[in-house]
Amino acid sequence: MMVPVRCFSCGRPIASEYNAFISRINLIRETENREPTTEEIQKIFDDLGIKRYCCRRMILSHVELIDDVMPFD
Amino acid sequence: MELNILTLEDRYAKFEIKGITPAIANALRRTLINDIPKLAIHKVIFHHGQIRDMQGKVYDSSTPLFDEIIAHRLGLIPLPTDLNMNFREDCDHPPDEGCPMCTVTYTLNKHGPATVYSGDLIPVGDEKFRPVDPLIPIVKLKDTQAILLEAEAILGTAKQHAKWQVTSGVAYKYHREIEVDKEESDLWEKVKEACPDAVVYEDSKKIIFTDDVECKLLAELISFENPVIREDDTWFVFQFETDGSLTAKDVLKYAITRLKNRFSHLRESASLG
């Protein structure tokens, strides 16, 4: 559904960085017409200050389903 | 005992303490994790039924997420904390009531189509209690939906619930010295060039590095060559991050005072027996 507010493992707030991450990814997709490389994704995480891999997986593995669910409530 | 601050940012601190035992270091770590008070939303009252806006348009109070989930998400939002406030159980009034010394009240009123963010939470009274991060998404609303609620935030510690957890990634390690024989090693010159801060001692035959400062090449040297590694179990390098409800400096100050008080309490109790 919506992105979790905090990292499940360490408790760092990550929800506000999710949108920033997605817009940076989409910028690469739109301007260069390709998927971002692992190095670029790593760079984005470093810029956002998300250091630990527990917080990184929260964002990488999240699927935003709220728009699919909204018509059914 | 000697404490040196290595890095101090608003939400991040790295420091070293010399001359303590692992037991004391761990006590400090655990205090930093679960004994720092902070504000978090604890009670949410939802308005159920029709909600009207200024133009008289009628909205429905239903949302795509259950009220429980919204309340949980609200609880996890970091709120700026005033450490001069009281815990609710330390106030004189009955525990189910609140007063300005122990409670901060928030309201949230938004109609769709919109995404509700933490920035939409309005503190009743002092503006300084606005959420630190205004961009945490809480729920999405359709064009016929609206949300109207009142929330109470109280002080708590992470012993009770993770929403009162101020710090994350609290860790310490021993100070390590890595002694490299210059004749046996090929990498030492590169490491010295890349991380001049990591050099502790150097003479014509050997060079000693420390991994207190981050250095990728030094990690490479440790795994590919066989340097002599010495650990000092009285010298600790700590680091932690905060969620923004308190600054790293305030957290560290509070933790040390808290630990001191608990130890003196223990000492008193032991001498009485």
Task: Say if residue B196's pLDDT is above 70.
Answer: yes
Q: What is the CATH number of domain B2-35+168-240?
A: 3.30.1360.10
Per-residue pLDDT, averaged over A30-59, amounts to 93
pLDDT of residue B273: 60
In a domain, residue A49? The reply is: yes
Q: Check CB contact of B133 with chain A, cutoff 8 Å.
A: yes
Q: Would you list the domain boundaries of chain B?
A: 2-35+168-240, 38-164
Among B29, B38, B79, B140, pick the best mutation site for testing chain A contact (most A Cβ within 10 A). Answer: B140
Contacts made by residues A33-39, CB under 8 angstroms, sequence distance 24+:
none
- Calpha distance B69→B128 (Å, rounded): 26
> Per the CB < 8 Å rule, is A5 touching B243?
no
What's the mean pLDDT when you consider all of chain B?
90
pLDDT given for residue A6 in this prediction: 94
Say if A65 falls within a structural domain.
yes
According to the model, what pLDDT value does residue A55 have? 94
Task: Calculate how close chain A gets to B102, using CA atoms only, in Å.
Answer: 24
Q: pLDDT higher for B97 or B21?
A: B21
Distances (CA, A) of B212 to A20, B25, B33, B238: 31, 16, 22, 10
Tell me how far apart the alpha carbons of residues B107 and B59 are, in angstroms, rounded to a whole number. Answer: 18
Please, which pLDDT band fits residue B94 given cuts at 50, 70 and 90? confident
- Domain hosting A57: range is 15-72
CATH architecture of B38-164: Beta Complex (2.170)
pLDDT of residue B217: 86
pLDDT of B193 over the 90 cut? no
Are residues A72 and B63 in contact, defined by beta-carbon separation less than 8 angstroms? no
> In which band, very low, low, confident or very high, does the pLDDT at B216 lie, cut at 50, 70 and 90?
confident
pLDDT of residue B24: 93
Count of structural domains, chain A: 1
At residue A7, the pLDDT reads 94
Beta carbons of B133 and A16 less than 8 Å apart: yes
- Name which of B62, B139, B168 is nearest A12 (Cβ-Cβ): B168
A8 in reach of chain B (CB within 8 A)? no
- pLDDT tens figures, B9-52: 999 999 999 999 999 999 999 999 999 999 999 999 999 988 88
Q: How much of chain A, in percent, has pLDDT values that exceed 90?
A: 84
CB contact under 8 A, B140 and A2: yes
Query: Is B137 in the A-facing interface, judged by CB distances under 8 Å?
Result: yes
Contact B135, B244 (CB under 8 A): no
Please state whether the predicted TM-score (pTM) of the whole model is above 0.90. Answer: no
Q: Which residues on chain B are in Cβ contact (under 8 Å) with A2?
A: 65, 73, 137-140
**Residue B10: per-residue pLDDT:** 93
